[in-house]
Structure 1
Amino acid sequence: MDFKTFKTVYEKNPVLEYVNKRAGKEPLATIKVVTYNHAKYISTCLDSLLKQKTNFDFEILIAEDESSDGTREICKKYAEKNPHRIRLLLNSRANNIPINGKPSGTFNSVYANFSAKGKYITTIEGDDYLMDEKSLQKRVEFLENNEQFVACFHNTKVIDQETSKEHHVFNYRRDRTIKAEDLLKVWIHTASLLYRHNLVNLFDEDMKNIVCGDFILRGKLAEFGAAKYIYDVKPAVYRKHNQGIFSPISLEAKTKLAIDGLQYLLNHYKTKKSNLEINKSASNLYLSYFVSHLIKDRKIKLNYLKKSFLYGKEANYSPCQIIKEFLYLKLYRL
């Protein structure tokens, strides 16, 4: 779906833009900030982005989803003070695309994606932030010098706002290549992920009920190549709190969302005739999700099992291979 069609179908009220005053050529990179009711955190986020030190031009594109807690007013002040760096999109809640009967950030995020001008793009939620002032420089530099990679990323520190407990997502001690077929298996937080903007179309009609946008992004990037983990960058910070989209929901609910995303990707791969290894990896992951997380509803589980056999067959898995995989995952709870 192109931008014009997206606007025609989904934009009920016009999105207003604080146009920045950058002169000259387009920015090399876009930092997309998606925010809704992040008044407690948004200043820390934006300050960390404005401190980025680069030898190239970049834009900070804020997509503000008509918050009710003062976030919009804070974003306006930042845009007014930094007109050469910040572009601010002021969305209306009338444009919201509900998923499973609940409001979502889909319109806000997709509209911003279409609006981004950079050759490279990275997305950060308004309640997260970067710790390293050279984060953007190092990631862009890597992709500029390594055309065979579609994306690169670094570590993330997860901080629980309720308990103050924290942990790092990765324990890698050096740079590491993540093969295309493994991109779905590795949880890469969006704040650390930089990718080539022109590779993927991040929205179509079949995605209207898909919540796991970062998962879909990795799955679509996998069609074009591998990603690189960059060790020598301080981690991004992901705040885990009860106001987040995913943190408050149950493990079973998260699993169902992931399975919905995998179903979408498997159908997408079939249409695009994606390579066998990626298709196998997605089929394998599809099976492991509902087995390992022990969905309670027996009818739902059986339905997923039947579909996993079908997807496995399309990925050239023999029935014997699928049964062995099922038993292995069930035994070890992987």
Structure 2
Amino acid sequence: MNLEDFKLKYQKQPVIEYANSVKESPLVSVCVGTYQHASYIKDCLEGILMQKTTFSFEILLGEDASTDGAREICIEYAKKYPDKIKLFLHHRENNIKINGAFSGRFNFIYNLFNSKGKYIALCDGDDYWIDPFKLQEQVNFLEQNTSNILCGTEVSVFQKNGNIKEKTQKSTTIKLVHLEDVLKNYPFYTCTIVFKNGPIPMELFQDFNAGDHALISYLLQFGNGVILPKVTTVYNFHGNGISSSLNHERYLYHRLNDRKALIKLHKPYFKWIIKKQGLVIIWNYLKQAIRWRKEFINALYSNRKLIIKYILN
């Protein structure tokens, strides 16, 4: 599926592309999706614009019809940096449902289809980069190590209480990540990754609630990933993200459905690795239910049919 096929199938209202003078052949496309991020989007864009590189890069800014002022901020930045920012003004009518719930998937995929760079970097509108050499160092690594398809870094986490805490363990060595590692325990923070651009099947995103996880597990079929031992990004855990805003019932439902979709996506060899992690999730819910935590009991009960199918299949 190409961009035109995608729009034909999913676009109900034409996306508005703000006037720009971005170069046609950047080395890197930085994809930013934002919705209701008025308090954060300036930090996100400033962190990207401050990047010191020997190559050109474009910022694909997808704004999903926010009502908190984020849309106006994005327009302000697009006017100020027309040579850097391609602003796509989206409409809520175009939202794609995933497992019955509306998502930001249209925005995410629209950015990917419009990426012109040899490499793609991702950063949600509520996260931000703090290292001005982040892009340069990651691209240098991928250019010099062609067997690797994607590169992440370590992060700090902006917590709900306003504190910033280093999330990943300090290391002095580059961590090599294989597909099996991602299927066991997702080690990347999406806001840090840079990966090689290439054809990505639309079908990949149709069944997954966590589209970024699906994308990375797909990419790692074609090469290795690495995590550089350097904090370059602040991940904003403020509780407004998709996974953090779900109740336990929906969260369990989404996690198990994503595990089922991963089993379909990957070779039979990986089935038990993927399934085992789903069983761990169920077991963790059971442990909480045994302590008479009502929300976990309700989550297990409401998802009982899904749990039985997951265990038996």
Which 10-residue stretch deviates more, 222-231 or 243-252?
243-252
Return closer, same or farther for 1:82/1:65 CA change in 2, 3 Å cut-off: same
Contact 1:215 1:261 in 2 (8 A): no
Aligned residue for 1:172?
171
- Matched residue, 1:11: 11
Picking from 291, 297, 306, the partner of 2:283 is: 291
Taking a change above 3 Å as real, the CA distance of residues 254 and 169 of structure 1, as seen in their structure-2 partners, is farther
User: How far has the Cα of 1:93 moved from its partner?
Assistant: 1.1
CA contact (8 A) 2:249 2:303 kept: no
Contact 1:159 1:238 in 2 (8 A): yes
For residues 252 and 236 of structure 1, do their structure 2 counterparts lie closer, same or farther at Cα, with a shift above 3 Å needed? Answer: farther
Change (3 A) 1:37 1:188: same
Show the 5 A alignment for 1:96-245: 96-162=95-161, 164=163, 166-184=165-183, 185-198=185-198, 200-201=200-201, 203-204=202-203, 207-208=205-206, 210-231=208-229, 233-245=230-242
Which residue does the alignment assign to 1:86?
A: 85
Q: 1:280 to 1:151 in 2, by over 3 A?
A: farther
Distance 1:142 1:175, change over 3 A: same
Aligned equivalents of 1:158 and 1:250: distance in 2?
22
Displacement of 1:140 in angstroms is 0.9
Gap change, CA 1:42 and 1:175, over 3 Å in 2: same
Q: Structure 1: state its 5+ residue gaps.
A: 311-334
From 254, 259, 264, give the equivalent of 1:257.
Answer: 254
RMSD over equivalenced CA pairs, Å: 2.2
User: Structure 1's 15 and 289: CA in aligned 2 closer, same or farther, altered over 3 A?
Assistant: same
CA 1:84–1:101: 2 relative to 1, 3 Å: same
Alpha-carbon spacing, 1:212–1:157, altered in 2? closer, same or farther (3 Å): same
Distance 1:266 1:80 in 2: 45
CA distance in structure 2 between the aligned counterparts of 1:157 and 1:104, rounded to whole angstroms: 26
C-alpha offsets along residues 308-334 of structure 1, whole Å, 9 cap, x if unaligned?
453xxxxxxxxxxxxxxxxxxxxxxxx
- The structural deviation recorded for 1:34 is 0.2
Contact persistence 2:31–2:120 (CA under 8 A): yes
Task: Please point out which of 281, 296, 307 is paired with 2:310.
Answer: 307
Q: Offset at 1:94?
A: 1.4
Letter in 2 for 1:126: G
Structure 2 gaps of 5+ residues are 287-295
**How far 1:142 moved relative to its partner?**
0.9
Paired position in structure 1 for 2:20: 20
| Cα contact 2:147–2:224 (8 A) shared by 1 | yes
2:292 corresponds in structure 1 to none
Displacement of 1:162: 3.3
TM-score normalised according to structure 1 size: 0.83
Q: Are the aligned partners of 2:43 and 2:128 in contact in 1 as well (CA < 8 Å)?
A: yes
Sequence identity (%): 33
Residue identity in the other structure for 2:11: E
The count of aligned residue pairs is 301
> TM-score under structure 2 normalisation?
0.88
Q: Secondary structure at the match of 2:97?
A: coil
Per-residue deviation at 1:209?
5.0
Distance 1:280 1:172, change over 3 A: farther
Separation (CA, whole Å) in 1 of partners of 2:219 and 2:169: 20
